[in-house]
Amino acid sequence: MELFQIILLSIIQGLTEFLPVSSSGHLILAPMVFNFEDQGLALDAILHLGTLLAIIIFFRKDLKDLAIGLFDRKSKVHHLAWCIILASFPAGLVGLFGEGWIEANLRGPTFVGCNLLFWSFIFVGADRYNSKSTNPTAELNQLSLQKVLFIGFAQAIALLPGTSRSGITIAAGLFTNLSHTSATRFSFLLGTPIIFAAGMHKLLQFITQPPSEQTYSNLHMLLGLGISFLVGLFAIQLLLKIVARVGLLPFIIYRIILAGGILLYY
């Protein structure tokens, strides 16, 4: 059962970290459905590290340019790089001060189902709003600080289980007149600092509060890392292709079906 649990949770983490269907919602529901024991901080940290590696590898050129652009005023991405840093603060602050309360009060299946449903309708509105735009921009460097901060505050809401970080930031990007492809790419770039911070936070918790006994072997942990990394790479490519062709509609339909199933079952 341990091997099956690791494989399933790794696939869920790799897919739902990037697809707009809520990773936290799925990781809350999977143990309930399959009667898993809590996977623990070590596996949580490893799975987050796997998806972090996926986004770093896939967007390595963009991230390298942004890192250089932070300190090079002549760089064409200097403004964008600092905007991403500033836009990461809202989610970071909410996570730092509100994560404990959210974990204790908002991880029930009913809240997850209702939140999946509510934000699905917001995503429909974003898709329709953007489809009416005659000239959506494909240039991330044209984003103003106000628009970037709007997307950054939207990212902070994603800490509520059932929301989806990628979904709400893509939707916010669509509302700011970004094209579907640009909104999706920006969602990934903006999410990198948060995914990194979440992984390091879980790793630090594990180091400072090690379990009394090791739940999984090192081989199991390595397997989880590899699967979440490979599935994460696949999910990034899949999302970019689907959103460019048909927008968020397939994910909205899935979210509504999932929300209905959760609310009926629980």
Q: pLDDT tens for residues 120-172?
A: 999 999 999 988 877 777 678 778 888 989 999 999 999 898 999 999 999 99
Predicted confidence at residue 266, as pLDDT, reads: 75
Predicted confidence at residue 74, as pLDDT, reads: 87
Biggest distance spanned by C-alpha atoms of the chain: 60
Point out the least confidently predicted range of 21-30, 134-143, 204-213, 243-252.
Answer: 204-213
Predicted confidence at residue 249, as pLDDT, reads: 94
- Quick one: pLDDT band at residue 213, thresholds 50, 70, 90? low
pLDDT for 1 beyond 60 = no
pLDDT for 3 beyond 90 = no
Per-residue exposure over 242-251, b if at least 16 CB sit within 10 Å of its own CB, e if not:
bbeeebbeeb
CA 236, 242, 243, 247 torsion: positive or negative? negative
> Which amino acid type is present at position 33?
V
Q: How far is 62 from 251, CA to CA, in rounded Å?
A: 26
- Quick one: pLDDT band at residue 115, thresholds 50, 70, 90? very high
Q: Dihedrals φ, ψ of 178, to 5°? A: -75, 150
pLDDT for 212 beyond 60 = no
Q: Dihedrals φ, ψ of 198, to 5°? A: -65, -45
- Quick one: pLDDT band at residue 215, thresholds 50, 70, 90? low
Higher-scoring residue by pLDDT: 45, 257: 257
Q: How far is 177 from 132, CA to CA, in rounded Å?
A: 10
Q: Quick check: helix, strand or coil at residue 124?
A: helix
pLDDT for 38 beyond 70 = no
Higher-scoring residue by pLDDT: 201, 64: 64
Q: Are 143 and 153 in contact (CB under 8 A)?
A: no
Predicted confidence at residue 211, as pLDDT, reads: 61
Q: Are 122 and 132 in contact (CB under 8 A)?
A: no
pLDDT for 194 beyond 60 = yes
Predicted confidence at residue 40, as pLDDT, reads: 63
Q: If you ran DSSP here, which 8-state letter would residue 72 be given?
A: -
Higher-scoring residue by pLDDT: 21, 201: 21
